[in-house]
Amino acid sequence: MDSNYTVIPKNSFLELQVYDNDQNPPSRIKSHVKIQTFDEEHDSDSKNFVDHVDNNQDDEHDDYPLISAKSNEGSAVAGAVFNLTTTVIGAGIMALPAAMKVLGLAVGFVLIIFMGILSEVSVELLVRFSVLCKATSYGEVVQYALGRPAKILSEICIILNNAGVLVVYLIIVGDVMSGSLHHTGVFDQWLGKGMWDHRKLLILIVLVVFLAPLCALDRIESLSMSSAASVALAVVFVVVCFFIAFIKLVEGKLDPPRMSPDFGSKKAILDLLVVIPIMTNAYVCHFNVQPIYNELEGRTPQKMNHVGRLTTILCIVVYSSTAISGYLLFGKDTESDVLTNFDKDLGIGYSTALNYIVRVGYIFHLILVFPVVHFSLRQTVDALFFEGSAPLLESRKRSLALTVVLLVLIYFGSTMIPSIWTAFKFTGATTAVSLGFIFPPLVALRLRKEGPGLSLGEKFLSGLMLVLAIVVSFVGVIGNIYSLESKSDD
Query: Tens of pLDDT along 284-305?
Result: 888 888 888 888 888 888 999 9
Total domains in the chain come to 1
Which residue segment(s) compose the domain that 402 sits in? 74-489
CA distance 217 to 196: 29
Q: CATH no. for residue 209?
A: 1.20.1740.10
Q: Do the domain assignments include residue 263?
A: yes
CA distance 295 to 444: 23
What band does 47 get if pLDDT is binned at 50, 70 and 90? Answer: very low
Distance of CA 36 to the CA centre of its chain: 30
DSSP letter, residue 264: S
The count of other CB atoms within 10 Å of the CB of residue 157 is: 26
CA distance 364 to 370: 10
CA distance 321 to 450: 41
Q: What pLDDT does 189 receive?
A: 74
- Which residue type, as a one-letter code, is found at position 101? K
Q: Do the domain assignments include residue 14?
A: no
DSSP 176-234: HHH--SSS--HHHHHH-SSGGG-HHHHHHHHIIIIIHHHHT-S-GGGGHHHHHHHHHHH
Whole-number average pLDDT of the chain: 78
Q: What pLDDT does 285 receive?
A: 85
DSSP letter, residue 33: E
The torsion angles phi and psi of 218, rounded to 5 degrees, stand at -90, -25
Who has greater pLDDT, 28 or 220? Answer: 220
Residue 96, H or E segment: helix 92-103
Q: Do the domain assignments include residue 144?
A: yes
Q: Do the domain assignments include residue 64?
A: no
The torsion angles phi and psi of 413, rounded to 5 degrees, stand at -65, -40
pLDDT in tens, 301-320: 899 999 999 999 999 998 99
Q: Do the domain assignments include residue 25?
A: no
Q: Do the domain assignments include residue 1?
A: no
* pLDDT above 70 as % of the chain: 76
Q: What pLDDT does 266 receive?
A: 65
CA distance 207 to 202: 9
pLDDT in tens, 205-251: 999 999 999 899 888 777 778 778 888 888 888 888 888 888 888 88
Q: Do the domain assignments include residue 375?
A: yes
Q: Do the domain assignments include residue 51?
A: no
Contact 297, 83 (CB under 8 A): no
